[in-house]
Structure 1
Amino acid sequence: MDLDGGNRRVFNRLGGSSAASPDSSKNQKVCYHWRAGKCSRFPCPFLHRELPHPSGPAAATSNGSGAPKRFADDSGFSGPALRRGPNCNNNHNNSWGRMGANKVVRKTEKVCNYWVQGNCSYGDKCRFLHSWSLGECFTLLNHLDGHQKVVTGIALPAGMDKLYTGSKDETVRAWDTNTGQCMGVINLGGEVGCMISEGPWLFVGIPNVVKAWNTQTNQELSLSGPVGQVYTMVVGNDLLFAGTQDGTILAWKFNAVTNNFEPAASLKGHTLAVVSLVVGANRLYSGSMDHSIKAWSLETLQCLQTLTEHTSVVMSLLCWEQFLLSCSLDQTIKVWVATESGNLEVTYTHKEEHGLLNLRGMPDSESKPVLMCSCNDNSVRLYDLPSFSEKGKIFAKQEIRAIEVGPGGLFFTGDGTGFRVWKWAEAVPKP
């Protein structure tokens, strides 16, 4: 522990005697590593404190770069484009990426390790978080554990009072939604790559097969055909699609006569594994480890367009109204919109500091659209749309691979320790 000169170093970092030097202006920046609780530089050339909030006319008209600061309204997805991303096409009249006025005020964005262990002596004075979340618009209802490895799928079959979770520990667990108790464990003999539900059916993707259970009749089926791990599944136009490790997208159709799922198609075009699928606007969209997104017609099952703007694995896709959103390990979220020709083009790119794993969208308690994106720094960011202003964060000990939306303002996040149940806080009535 360095005691000699420590106070002087702190004084200098807070803008003491060196603040009057000609070069001091370049140091009026808060240390990123200090914010993360891991700065090891002595002396550090940056500030170890938060800058005061600007005030006066200059604060109202400048964003620090001399350019006017503009704020988003709450008009939803459409409206005048106040601020656009670097890949914006001026032919698109939308408002993605406008700067939000309500930025979350935070402590250091790191969960206190001593608090996790139950022995932090600083209490409310600790500069690290004593919470698994940051933001006042949602609350943690429960944390259910039992899986030995990361949770890769969460599903709520229709009409059921049970929730199902799948994991890389090769099991599926059933949970009672009323009591939070584990009702049973299914051993599959292979890592669960993904899991979805459609009506009473529960579909689980494991290496070389898709398992299907009818949760009402207990009928169990095995859908053969996949080569390698099944990473993603989606239902569209009465077809079940599965993205596989060899880059193929397989499709099955349910036959009511035989009471079975029969092979319907095999879509080829990706050169590496297909890890994300979504259906929207009568199209199937697929994201792959080959860094591309392909758009397929749900009617002809032909590839209509290949998108190559991402530079790493396209981990997740989301259709929301007329927009397609994609996230990648290249640390970006891209917002796509169709041009008059019907082809998709990027209208906004949002950049993060870490690779992105999963996207989900839902309305908050005020029915405003919120985007949830998990990052490979063990967190989930929540953003108001279309402004992308930060609404809150969720933290975990390990990567959050699964996010699922439930009824009544509930949503779920799954990591390596289990899964958590969250709920949007009730909106405060305006006077």
Structure 2
Amino acid sequence: MDLDGGNKRVFNRLGGPSGAAAATATDAGKHQKVCTYWKSGKCTRFPCPFLHRELPAPTAATANGSGGGKRFADDRGFSGPAARRGPNFNAHNNSWGRVGANKVVRKTEKVCNFWMQGSCNYGDKCRFLHSWSLGEGFSLLTQLEGHQKVVSGIALPSGSDKLYTGSNDETVRIWDCASGQCMAVVNLGGEVGCIISEGPWLFFGIPNFVKAWNTQTNADLSLSGPVGQVYALVVGNELLIAGTQDGTILAWKFNVATNSFEPAASLKGHTLAVVSLVVGGNRLYSGSMDNSIRVWSLETLQCLQTLTEHTSVVMSLLCWEQFLLSCSLDQTIKVWVATESGYLEVTYTHNEEHGLLTLCGTPDFEGKPVLLCSCNDNSVRLYDLPSFSERGKIFAKQEIRAIEAGPGGLFFTGDGTGQVRVWKWSAEPATAS
């Protein structure tokens, strides 16, 4: 791999109050009463003197005087390297979309074009947004510049002090998390379609190969077999699994004796490119340009079910608790749950005005689950789960194709201009960024 130096941008991993402490810090300047207008979705005051959240019930931890935030992947039920939960049988949730009236409204929900160019003369009187976000409880820390094309993947390995971003400009950039400095640029010789991390390993999908890089030993492997671009990667049941351009799903197993990845399986069924993969429980879920989702057993590697309710490309998949969430260019997010027979069915459909590109789950500063979904109108919507109450929006100059949750309330977005933005959940209202 060829390395060369990168530019310098600074961001810090800021600490701050979380959980009950964060709620106390937020509530200190407000009446200890929930805003009745907010509950009915009609509050237009900004800032509002009353609470825009339900008062939390006391938990065993707070009752005993012990706190400590829960880890996102372990305790909030989203799928990820630390927890691979999927739909369980006989599990329904009747609150999907039932409390969805709370819509964030402030000015026109459009970023001022003149402000983006640094030339708006209206200042605070401008009726358009002078900010890259809309909503409270999160803020922009910094922007990382360097990629020349769309950012297609972001990875922050557990316990690492490095952030890895991949792009269609055929490079991976390595950022130091303490300083924000770009430490190196890795030239992969092909468009990076995706990045994931698992333990000390980083995996990159490029045309006709999966690159594997051990960050501890610097072992650098090329896994052949894919035909065309590798769009999606996931790890499950000790297998590295790749979704490829020709519709095939390939799997490799690591051989400790030879320190190499050996081909384990080739799953056929999709008729067009596989662009999304997620593992939940003992199931693999694959989304494709053929508009379908296939459910595979990780034990037998057999297809158990084909889901055909989407009418366009299934762009992204996410497991949360016992549910599978899928989004598509057909402008819908579908929530799936297993019936008594074990087969998945749609329990709720959320409609958007634009096609959907990427799903990511993250807890807010109180540890409540929030869904981030990128749309092809250059924005990301933030929703509480399971109510789909709107929490805010994030804007960009071009489509946001990569979203990744990090530790300590951090999350990251990468857009079509090559820009990576670092965001943080906080107890304080967000300021204009």
Mean CA deviation greater in 272-281 or 98-107: 98-107
Q: Distance in 2 between matches of 1:93 and 1:226?
A: 39
Answer yes or no: is 1:234 the counterpart of 2:245.
no
Determine which structure has more spread, i.e. the larger CA radius of gyration.
1
Q: Give 1:329 deviation, angstroms.
A: 0.3
Q: Give 1:92 deviation, angstroms.
A: 3.9
Q: Give 1:426 deviation, angstroms.
A: 2.2
CA RMSD of aligned residues (A): 2.4
The one-character-per-residue Cα deviations of 1:167-214 (angstroms, maximum 9, x if unpaired) are 000111100111111111111111111111111101000000000100
Question: Which residue number corresponds to residue 301 of structure 2?
Answer: 301
Q: Does the CA contact (< 8 Å) of 1:147 and 1:416 recur in 2?
A: no
Question: Which residue number corresponds to residue 86 of structure 1?
Answer: none
Answer yes or no: is 1:313 the counterpart of 2:310.
no
Q: How does 1:249-268 map to 2 (within 5 A)?
A: 249-268=249-268
The one-character-per-residue Cα deviations of 1:3-44 (angstroms, maximum 9, x if unpaired) are xxxxxxxxxxxxxxxxxxxxxxxxxxxxxxxxxxxxxxxxxx
- Structure 1 residues 176 and 92: CA distance shift in structure 2, 3 A: closer
Q: Supply the AA of the counterpart residue of 1:409.
A: G
Q: Give 1:60 deviation, angstroms.
A: 7.0
Q: Supply the AA of the counterpart residue of 1:414.
A: G
Mean CA deviation greater in 119-128 or 92-101: 92-101
Question: Which residue number corresponds to residue 275 of structure 1?
Answer: 275
Q: Give 1:362 deviation, angstroms.
A: 1.2
Question: Which residue number corresponds to residue 244 of structure 2?
Answer: 244
Q: Distance in 1 between matches of 2:327 and 2:353?
A: 13
Question: Which residue number corresponds to residue 335 of structure 1?
Answer: 335
Q: Give 1:427 deviation, angstroms.
A: 6.6
Q: Does the CA contact (< 8 Å) of 1:134 and 1:394 recur in 2?
A: yes
Q: Distance in 2 between matches of 1:384 and 1:398?
A: 24
Q: Distance in 2 between matches of 1:210 and 1:60?
A: 50
Q: Distance in 2 between matches of 1:297 and 1:424?
A: 36
Q: Distance in 2 between matches of 1:246 and 1:211?
A: 18
The one-character-per-residue Cα deviations of 1:63-110 (angstroms, maximum 9, x if unpaired) are xxxxxxxxx988999xxxxxxxxxxxx994521111335321221111
Answer yes or no: is 1:174 the counterpart of 2:138.
no
User: Secondary structure in 1 aligned to 2:400?
Assistant: coil
Q: Supply the AA of the counterpart residue of 2:422.
A: V
Count, aligned residues: 352
Mean CA deviation greater in 114-123 or 205-214: 114-123
Question: Which residue number corresponds to residue 421 of structure 2?
Answer: 420
Q: Distance in 2 between matches of 1:198 and 1:187?
A: 21
User: Secondary structure in 2 aligned to 1:401?
Assistant: strand
- Structure 1 residues 320 and 167: CA distance shift in structure 2, 3 A: same
Q: Distance in 1 between matches of 2:41 and 2:414?
A: 42
Q: Give 1:372 deviation, angstroms.
A: 0.3
Question: Which residue number corresponds to residue 157 of structure 2?
Answer: 157
Question: Which residue number corresponds to residue 9 of structure 1?
Answer: none
Q: How does 1:76-91 map to 2 (within 5 A)?
A: none
Q: Distance in 2 between matches of 1:265 and 1:192?
A: 23
Q: Does the CA contact (< 8 Å) of 1:365 and 1:427 recur in 2?
A: no
| Structure 2 stretches lacking a partner, 5+ long | 1-35, 43-52, 58-74, 77-89
Q: Does the CA contact (< 8 Å) of 2:91 and 2:338 recur in 1?
A: no
Answer yes or no: is 1:350 the counterpart of 2:350.
yes
Q: Supply the AA of the counterpart residue of 2:337.
A: V
Q: Does the CA contact (< 8 Å) of 2:244 and 2:274 recur in 1?
A: yes
Q: Supply the AA of the counterpart residue of 2:425.
A: W
Q: Supply the AA of the counterpart residue of 2:384.
A: D
Q: Distance in 1 between matches of 2:218 and 2:362?
A: 31
Q: Does the CA contact (< 8 Å) of 1:246 and 1:273 recur in 2?
A: yes
Q: Does the CA contact (< 8 Å) of 2:241 and 2:252 recur in 1?
A: yes
Q: Supply the AA of the counterpart residue of 2:359.
A: L
The one-character-per-residue Cα deviations of 1:219-260 (angstroms, maximum 9, x if unpaired) are 100000000000000000110000000000000011110001
Q: Under a length normalisation based on structure 1, what TM-score does the superposition of the two structures give?
A: 0.78
User: Secondary structure in 2 aligned to 1:218?
Assistant: coil
Question: Which residue number corresponds to residue 137 of structure 2?
Answer: 137
Q: Give 1:61 deviation, angstroms.
A: 12
Q: How does 1:22-421 map to 2 (within 5 A)?
A: 92-417=92-417, 418-421=419-422
Q: Does the CA contact (< 8 Å) of 2:136 and 2:428 recur in 1?
A: no
Q: Does the CA contact (< 8 Å) of 1:158 and 1:199 recur in 2?
A: yes
- Structure 1 residues 149 and 61: CA distance shift in structure 2, 3 A: closer
User: Secondary structure in 1 aligned to 2:97?
Assistant: coil
- Structure 1 residues 341 and 113: CA distance shift in structure 2, 3 A: same
Q: Give 1:354 deviation, angstroms.
A: 0.5
- Structure 1 residues 282 and 61: CA distance shift in structure 2, 3 A: closer
User: Secondary structure in 2 aligned to 1:114?
Assistant: helix
Question: Which residue number corresponds to residue 30 of structure 2?
Answer: none
- Structure 1 residues 367 and 159: CA distance shift in structure 2, 3 A: closer
Q: How much identity, in percent, do the aligned residues show? A: 81
| Structure 1 stretches lacking a partner, 5+ long | 1-55, 63-71, 78-89
Q: Does the CA contact (< 8 Å) of 1:292 and 1:306 recur in 2?
A: yes
Q: Does the CA contact (< 8 Å) of 1:413 and 1:420 recur in 2?
A: yes
Q: Give 1:134 deviation, angstroms.
A: 0.3
Q: Give 1:160 deviation, angstroms.
A: 1.8
Mean CA deviation greater in 350-359 or 153-162: 153-162
| Higher-RCO chain (CA-CA 8 Å, sequence separation at least 6) | 2
Question: Which residue number corresponds to residue 23 of structure 1?
Answer: none
Q: Does the CA contact (< 8 Å) of 2:196 and 2:202 recur in 1?
A: yes
Q: Does the CA contact (< 8 Å) of 2:41 and 2:103 recur in 1?
A: no
Q: Under a length normalisation based on structure 2, what TM-score does the superposition of the two structures give?
A: 0.78
Q: Supply the AA of the counterpart residue of 1:421.
A: V
Q: Distance in 1 between matches of 2:295 and 2:321?
A: 16
